Amino acid sequence: MEHEKLQGELRKKILSLHKMANSGHIGCSLSCIDIMISILKYKEPDDSFILSKGHAATALYTILNEIGEIPDEAMDTFYKNATTLPAHPAALKYPAIPFATGSLGHGLPLASGIAKAKKLKGAAGTSYVLMSDGETNEGTTWEGAHFAVANKLDNLLVFIDKNRLQGFGNTADILGDTAAAKVWDAIGFEVMEVDGHNINAMLDARQIMTGNKNGKPKLIIANTIKGKGIDYMENKMEWHYLPMSEAQYNDALNRIKIDYNV
């Protein structure tokens, strides 16, 4: 497995950051780290990326550290006083984090603006944004989606981390599936669905989408498992919030060792 080692190593880093900080938001970082590897590890120089689900900041910090955008010394300050790496990304600290997020529903309009600016200038590159499926409850999702379609932003590629859980329940039980492919297709997006933990599948989908200049904005729905890789966290809402005990941390590291061979 070509990417398995990196997927495992970055999971270990995410866990160690959360253990050091005794902090939550573990499950949501583990659900989208593979998506971020597929975007950021293979980023072109003119591409931009916004993590709209800012609560998955440890996944973002970890992959940005991996590709040299955040230094190791900064990683040691995560969640501590006077850090540049708080629980949600901060503004104006790293070029690779163009926008501070944390309140949901901001990323799509921002990424649409970047894509629109690229269109006006005739500039190259794709504007990427990663949203959560729960986040698509936000009204700005629908304002932004229609704007992207109306402005023919085929240089916009949205990923939705579809783990089917949100803040206080299953997405299906709350507002229904606001990240359903048919909804986005009906608005005018080009939509693909992939396994959000299969990096090769996501890279293939990405290549197809970015190569398709048909005037339609693009959406890749990445089906994921919240807490992916740690059996006792998988598909459990509480791992949006909980920190790990010492025993749970050691158990998680063992699980990654077995499953990812690292």
Residues of this chain that bind another protein (CB under 8 A) = 91-92, 98-103, 105-106, 108-118, 120-121, 123, 127, 139-140, 143-144, 146-147, 150-151
Q: Closer CB to another protein, residue 11 or residue 218?
A: 218
The 8 Å CB, 24+ separation contacts for 241-248 are 241/24, 241/25, 242/24, 242/26, 243/18, 243/19, 243/21, 243/22, 243/23, 243/24, 243/26, 244/15, 244/18, 244/19, 244/26
Q: Closer CB to another protein, residue 133 or residue 138?
A: 138
The tokens describing 157, both together, are 């590629």
DSSP-derived letter for residue 244 is P
The tokens describing 109, both together, are 């309009």
Give the residue among 12, 18, 31, 5 at the shortest CA–CA distance from 164.
31
Q: Closer CB to another protein, residue 29 or residue 140?
A: 140
- Least gap, CB of 165 to another protein (angstroms): 24
Q: Closer CB to another protein, residue 110 or residue 179?
A: 110
- Least gap, CB of 179 to another protein (angstroms): 18
- Least gap, CB of 177 to another protein (angstroms): 22
- Least gap, CB of 139 to another protein (angstroms): 7
